[in-house]
Each structure stands twice: as C-alpha cells, then as structure tokens.
Amino acid sequence: MTSFSPFYWRSSTKKTCSPAWNETFFLTLSHTKQEEEISFSFYDQCMFKKDLYLGKWVIKLSEIIAKEKFEETRQLTYECAAKRTMSLVPATFTVSMVFYENKGQPEIRPSLKNLIKETPLPPLPALPRSNTLESDMTVPSKEDNQIYIRGKKLYVLGAKLDISDCWDFKSAKTKEENFVIVKVVPPAIMNDEYLLISNEIKILNKIDSPYCVKLIDRVFEKEQLIEDSPFYLIYDPFRHNLFQLVHKKIHKVFKNQEKHHVFLTKHLSRAFEVTVNGLHYLHNNYICHRNITPKSIWLGYDGIWKLSCFEHAVDLGDEKEKEVAFPGQFEFRAPEVLSGKKSSFSMDMWSFGVTVYYCFEKGFPFQTENDIQILLNPENDVVLNYVSDIPPIYKEMISSLILVDVHKRWNIDHLLKFVNKMKN
C-alpha cells in the first residue's frame, strides 16, 4: 500500500481550512485504503478572527466518482460528493481531494518565473521618508529579515501588520529609507493561492487610479528565481484600513460617545466617498473587485483611501478571462454568488452595502441559516435591523444596495450620484 503525506488547502497558523461555496479545497489523508472513512472538522474562518464551526463531514473513499489506480509516480486527484450535517447553507459540496506522495512536495505550476517575465514593472517611485511614519513601523536590521534581489539588499522587513486573515503583511523600508508594505507569499504555495497571486498582479497592472493601491515591485528572496524561495509583493505604504478605524485601533477613543460618533462618521463618510469613486473607475474599466470588505479599503500616506486586495478581481471585459477561486469573504457575498451565478458588477454593490452596514453596526446583517434562506429567494424582502444611531441618509444607501433583486439594486452610476449629492 502506498502512503501519502497530507497537504493542506491553505497555509495557516491555526491549520484550519476555509473553503468557499462550490470551491475546490484539499483534505488531509493518512492512507489510501479504499473503504476507509475520512473524518475531519470543517471550519469557515471568518474575516474577524473568529472560527465558526459549521459541521463534521464523513467521506467514504468508496463514494469517489473518478476512480483511478494509486501509482507512486503520479499526483492523484479524486472528486466525491459530501453533505454537511450542520451548515449555514445546507447543500451538497463538491470536494476535490489531492494526494501527494511522501517523496516530496509538488512543484508550483505554472512557474512564478514566467509571471515575472510577462509583466514587467516600472522603476520604484519615491515614497514617504521613514520619519513620517509612526513608531510601530520600526524595522529591525537582522540579516535574516532582508530581502535580496539581483544580489542587492533593496528591502528590509519590519513589523507584521494585522490587516489580513489570509496573507502575511509586513512593513519594510528600501535602501533609500522609504517605507513600503510587503505581502509575504510562502514558497509552499498551493495552486489556488498561486492563481490568486498571479491574478492580483495581472489586475493591478491593468489599473491606474489614485483610489486603488499600487503594486510597486515583486521580489524573490534569492538571486536565482527558484521554486523554494519566498515571493514578495511590494505596495504603497498605508496608515490603516477601514476595519482598524471602526474598531478604534488607530485613533484616540473619546470618552464622550457623541464626539466619538461625530469623529467616526466624518472619517467613514470620506472613506465611503473615495471607495465609490474607486469602484466607479473599476467598473468603467470592466473590473469587478469581488472582495469589498472593511479590510480591503486602506488609507494611504497621501491621505487618500484606496481599494486593495485584488486577488479575486476579474476583468469582465475580457472574454478569455477565467474567474479565480470564489469571490470575497462569506459575510459580504451577494445572494447571486451563493446561488452560483457568474460574477457581475452588482455583487460589488452588495458587498459595499454590507461594508457600510458593518462600519456603523460592527456586525453583519445576515448570519443565521434563516437569513441565508431568505437571500436565496429573490422574491423575499430584506429586513435590516439597526442597533446604532446611523444617519438616515446612510440607511437609504444601505437599503438600496442590500437588495436581493439585482435589477432593483443600485448600480455604480446611481451610487456615485447619490454620494455626490450627499457631499453637496
């Protein structure tokens, strides 16, 4: 009997899987006995560091649809159907199980080398000097924390930034003492993750807007471009994201709640206005973001809020474009996404509406199984409950965006007119 080593769907310190609706993911298998049952716990890792237990699956290898013989020299892929015993969205889930031999890890396909050659980047622009940043952006000078490219030390990694649940971000500085933001991509990258990274690079090379984050550089740690080397994406520096603003992580908390509410509403209004302008730019260029959340909206050091996290974005104007993975965080997904429909600009409108709602309420409008069932029926009316004192004009915005019927939901032009009217 051949023994295979486990291979996780995503690298994670908690070692949990977070597969999305109708999305391929990977299981851990100890051996390949035909009638052996595989039991494992299924988690959906929520955006805000909360692991929501959805149920336990038991899958029999005898239920495998595509049957092949186990061979030592091949990567084996099987698909089987499994049903969750407890779930927010009761449904049959298609699971792709990929087994690898103990002899070694699979190579990354296609190679990141090809991506580097296909999409050259412009020279590194001048960035804010290090003395303009807060003290928490300090950078150590240890040799192990330095990134090399062409044999020269161009970047030095600094503190880890708590801005994403899926990727590791760190502050860094250039040899000119300018600060940047670095996404660290581990060498043992999965095929799904590779597609996300390559898609992000491709999308960011297509767009040029002050309302969208800029990709400055891509760097391999070693001089030779080899598969076992970490990969780094270098971005414009930013101060904080919308999630950190909402949860009081970056500003002084006012003892007077009324003053704090005025302060927060003022900054949220500016963030929403710029985000709408960013979405207007993207949609006019046929780009659907597919991952609008409070953590994907960053405040740059130029004082402008910017859209980021373009891993799931798709160019709807390119007929050859293939959508990668599943769009966005679960709580921000539009009903048509849960129904398995193709991407459209309307899903960005829904996600933005949920983002606005969350920023005021610090919670989600839909979380229970009954909520999900309502969303899956376009004839049902959405009832939104508010706990905080949201300005009436934002309630109107939210109620016009969080609509199950996509034909009634505002598009970006309608939303932009509404925001401009608010500003005036």
**Residue 201 is assigned to a structural domain of this protein:** no
Same structural domain, 256 and 334? yes
Here the CATH number for the domain that contains residue 267 is: 1.10.510.10
Same structural domain, 87 and 133? no
Same structural domain, 39 and 89? yes
Here the CATH number for the domain that contains residue 217 is: 3.30.200
How many domains does one find in the chain?
3
Same structural domain, 289 and 371? yes
Structural contact between residues 155 and 173, judged by C-beta atoms closer than 8 angstroms: yes
**Residue 336 is assigned to a structural domain of this protein:** yes
**Residue 206 is assigned to a structural domain of this protein:** no
Structural contact between residues 283 and 412, judged by C-beta atoms closer than 8 angstroms: yes
Structural contact between residues 79 and 95, judged by C-beta atoms closer than 8 angstroms: yes
Amino acid 211: pLDDT: 94
Amino acid 249: pLDDT: 56
Task: Tell which of 101, 122, 154 closes a domain.
Answer: 101
- Per the structure block, which two tokens stand in for 311? 């891993």
**Residue 357 is assigned to a structural domain of this protein:** yes
Amino acid 326: pLDDT: 66
What domain range is 279 assigned to?
240-423
**Residue 199 is assigned to a structural domain of this protein:** no
Cα angle 284, 288, 290 (rounded to 5 degrees) comes to 150
**Residue 203 is assigned to a structural domain of this protein:** no
Same structural domain, 232 and 245? no
Place of tokens 């007077």: 256
Task: Tell which of 39, 67, 101 closes a domain.
Answer: 101
**Residue 208 is assigned to a structural domain of this protein:** no
Task: Tell which of 101, 136, 158 closes a domain.
Answer: 101
Same structural domain, 60 and 141? no
> Which long-range contacts link 228-232 to residues 24+ away (Cβ below 8 Å)?
228/187, 229/187, 230/184, 230/185, 230/186, 230/187, 231/112, 231/185, 231/187, 231/189, 231/197, 232/147, 232/155, 232/182, 232/183, 232/184, 232/185
Same structural domain, 8 and 147? no
Question: At 382, is the secondary structure helix, strand, or coil?
Answer: coil
Cα angle 319, 121, 206 (rounded to 5 degrees) comes to 25
Same structural domain, 267 and 363? yes
Same structural domain, 278 and 302? yes
Same structural domain, 247 and 389? yes
Same structural domain, 344 and 408? yes
Same structural domain, 63 and 129? no
pLDDT tens digits, the chain, 424 residues: what are they?
333 223 222 222 222 333 333 233 333 333 333 333 333 333 333 222 223 233 333 333 333 333 333 333 233 333 333 333 333 333 333 333 333 333 333 333 334 444 444 444 444 444 343 333 333 333 334 445 666 654 456 788 888 887 777 788 888 888 777 888 888 887 766 566 777 888 898 899 999 999 999 998 887 665 444 455 677 888 988 888 888 888 865 555 555 566 666 777 888 889 999 999 999 999 999 999 999 999 999 988 888 999 999 989 999 887 777 666 666 677 888 888 877 778 889 999 999 999 999 999 888 888 765 676 667 776 666 778 888 788 899 999 999 999 888 889 999 999 999 999 887 6
